[in-house]
Amino acid sequence: MRRVLSFTAPVLLALAASTAVARDLPEYKLVIKNHIYQPSELKVPAGVKFKLIVHNEDATPEEFESTDLNREKIVLPNSSSFVYLGPLRAGHYKFFGDFHQDTAQGRLIVE
């Protein structure tokens, strides 16, 4: 019993800490409409971890994807999803909609 307690307590503390950090992160939002990202250029601060929410207003699924940012996330029709990003260095990071690459293109402007 004593061994179990000494093992689980640090794990629970770590979980509580990561939850608190995630809750306090700044949030930025992209909207997908007619298979186009709005805005197509999103400014975010350098050196900060943040939550990027992607809301899909279309009736078909999309996948937020970025090779530059090493992320891909399915966003169901009329739904939101999110990814955690950063801290990022200043620069431009392209993203796209994997299912509609002809039109769904954008970039993060990190400064």
Binding stretches for Cu ion (CB under 5 A): 63, 65, 72, 98
Minimum distance of Cu ion from residue 72's CB (angstroms): 4
| 57 versus 72: smaller Cβ distance to Cu ion | 72
| 8 versus 70: smaller Cβ distance to Cu ion | 70
| Rounded Cα distance, 34 and 103, in Å | 9
CB 96 within 8 A of CB 66: yes
Pairing of strands 62-66, 36-38: unpaired
Of all residues in the shown chain, the one whose CB is closest to Cu ion is: 98
